[in-house]
Amino acid sequence: MIGGIDITIPTFAGPMAIDLATRHLRMRWPNAVFEDAVNGTLFSKYADLPFRFLREIFVYRDEDARQKWDELGADPSHANTMVHLLVSSSTLTVVVDSLDANMKEVVDAIESGLRTDILTMRARMGTAA
């Protein structure tokens, strides 16, 4: 995404961070369309997303939003109809056009979800019963 606001959230969840963020967006955008931001592969179904291999994804509100982004790029006429998610070994970055009330709510929900102990703790070898 060109421009926009980057929100970096610390996490050790890896690909699960993109999964969690995508689920939150999908709750708001039931007709969401997904695009692997690295190779351009499109997915119209959440169930088809290969989270284990995704490091960067665009989540569009719907097919119309995807087409507008494809045709016009980062045009103000369709602001906040796409979210760019990037994951590293220690962070999830959420990129939005503006942090309006709706997007702030989404980002807060993602951040809260990533704070869940099971997602953020590192597994320790030899501690299982």
Question: pLDDT by residue (tens digit) across 40-99?
Answer: 999 999 999 999 899 999 999 999 999 999 999 989 999 999 999 999 989 999 999 999
- The whole domain housing 96 covers 5-120
Closest CA to 43 of 52, 27, 31: 31
Count CA within 13 A, CB hemisphere, residue 21. Answer: 36
Write the DSSP symbol of residue 121. S
Please, what is the average pLDDT of the chain?
88
Q: Kindly report the pTM of this predicted structure.
A: 0.86
Q: Is 94 inside any structural domain?
A: yes
**Computed from CA positions of residues 49, 51, 52, 58, in that sequence, does the dihedral angle turn out positive or negative?**
positive
Q: Is 129 inside any structural domain?
A: no
* 80: CATH: 3.30.530
| Number of domain units in the chain | 1
